Structure formats: C-alpha cells, structure tokens
C-alpha cells in the first residue's frame, strides 16, 4: 500500500471552496485508488465554522452538537467533555479549534453524504469507475497516549473484510473476526498527513489490499455485519452504558 500526502494552500474558515481545492490538488487518479480528505477541510467547505468570539460557553456548544454527553466533571482534571456523535465515542462532539483561525470547526452535518459528493466529483473529474473516499479525523483511544486517525465516513468500497467461516493456519474456523478496512486506511493516511502545520489535508492511497469497490454504499447482508455497531451489540457496552449520559441536541443550528 502506497500513501502520498498532498500539500495545499491554506484552507480558510469560515468558508472556502472545497471543490477548487480538490480540483487543483488531487492528481490524475487511477482505478482502485482511495482518496482521504480531512474532515476539517470538508467542514470549512460546508461553512460549518463558528467564530470563537461568538461562543459564550463552549460546553453549551458541545451539548448542542452531541447526541449524548457527559459533563466535564467526569473527565480527569475536567480536560474534556466525553460525547457520542454519529455513533462514535469522541471528545467534544468532534469540535476542533486547531488550525481554525479563531473558529470552532464542527463536523460535516452529514458525513456520509459529504463523502458521496466528493466521490462523485472526483470520479467524474478523473474518469475512473472504481474509487474510494474516506473523510478522516483523529481521536485518542483508552489507555494509550497520543491520537490516531479514523474514518468519519467513507464511500465507494466495502469497509470490512469478513473472515467468519474461514479457517486460521491451524484449521480452526473463525467465528467473529472482521478487519476494519476503513479505519485502518484512515489511520495510515492521518499519520502521513499529520496534525500540525504540515498543510497536507489530502492523501491518495493505491495498492490497498482486500478492497471491494462499489458505486454505492454496501448494505450489511447478514447478522453482525454492519460497519456501525449498535450499542446493544457492542463488546464495550458494559463500559459505555455504565456512565450517566445526558441527551444532547444532536446538531448545532445557526440562528
């Protein structure tokens, strides 16, 4: 698998032209490539930015954007508010102020729809049939320091490789093993794109193994096959449901 990050001009809040950025910076694509785009530039392209000076209380903004939230008092030193947003456990509902020019940048309103729009645009621009898109972000994971990338949304390929029913090297039938392709590729892309002043919000990935490309978003065709895991199926349900979540408003609405 070969990953190339792409350096671009500064992409400026509160709104900038995402399609110009993609048209002028994404190279000629070949069949079966994947393009990773950071959620931050997608959000700026959609105008999902709020001037910091316009927000009297960031915690209230987090509550508006989150699906569920925990008050800050439950985090060590009150560093963050833990939230659930778009079926993801993420601090501060994904709201970010880094590389944001005195703005709070929210996640795209509908990340899957945003990924599909980018897929259609780049597919038409390059004339390829088989193309994958990943909108990336980064987060911390329990009991590890530092952040890693993940797929906020994807389009154009199957995000899981299913090993269930196959045998391991000793002939044991695998019962639950599935590889998370979308997050694995996103992690590698985010590592290459960086988190500071690299100014590389786009990456191309070629020769990624196991990919099945589709011109739509594949639907799970059997039990326990959906990319997003409902809470009642999650292995970490005991932890996720043992805290006093409060219901958020599920999305900031500009007035």
145-192 pLDDT, tens digit each:
999 999 999 999 999 999 999 999 999 999 999 999 999 999 999 999
Q: Quick one: average pLDDT of 32-58? A: 97
Q: 2-47+110-242 belongs to which homologous superfamily? A: CofE-like (3.30.1330.100)
% of residues, the chain, pLDDT over 70:
96
The reported pLDDT for the residue numbered 36 is 98
The reported pLDDT for the residue numbered 252 is 65
With 90 as the cut, is the pLDDT of residue 253 above it?
no
Domain with CATH 3.30.1330.100 in the chain: 2-47+110-242
Give the E-state strand segments of the chain in sequence order: 2-6, 33-38, 49-51, 68-69, 82-85, 88-91, 103-105, 131-140, 147-155, 160-162, 178-180, 202-206, 246-247
The reported pLDDT for the residue numbered 224 is 85
Which of helix, strand or coil describes residue 164? coil
Whole-structure pTM value: 0.94
């Amino acid at each position: 698998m070969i990953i190339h990050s792409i350096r671009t001009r500064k992409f400026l809040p509160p709104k900038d032209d995402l399609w110009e950025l993609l048209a002028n910076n994404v190279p000629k694509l070949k069949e079966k490539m994947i393009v990773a785009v950071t959620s931050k530039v997608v959000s700026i392209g959609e105008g999902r930015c709020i001037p910091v000076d316009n927000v009297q209380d960031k915690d209230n903004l987090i509550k508006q954007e989150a699906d569920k939230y925990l008050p800050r008092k439950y985090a060590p030193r009150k560093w963050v508010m833990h939230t659930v947003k778009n079926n993801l456990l993420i601090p501060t509902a994904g709201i970010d102020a880094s590389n944001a020019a005195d703005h709070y940048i929210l996640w795209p309103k509908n990340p899957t729809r945003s990924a599909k729009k980018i897929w259609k645009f780049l597919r038409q621009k390059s004339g390829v049939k088989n193309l994958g898109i990943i909108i990336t972000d980064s987060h911390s994971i329990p009991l590890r320091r530092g952040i890693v990338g993940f797929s906020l949304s994807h389009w154009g390929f199957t995000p899981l490789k299913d090993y269930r029913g196959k045998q391991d090297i000793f002939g044991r039938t695998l019962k639950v093993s599935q590889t998370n392709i979308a997050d694995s590729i996103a992690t590698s892309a985010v590592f290459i794109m960086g988190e500071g002043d690299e100014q590389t919000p786009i990456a191309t990935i070629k020769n990624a193994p196991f990919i099945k490309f589709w011109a739509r978003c594949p639907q799970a065709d059997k039990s326990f096959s959906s990319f997003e895991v409902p809470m009642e199926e999650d292995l970490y349900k005991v932890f996720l449901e043992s805290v006093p979540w409060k219901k958020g408003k599920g999305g900031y609405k500009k007035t």
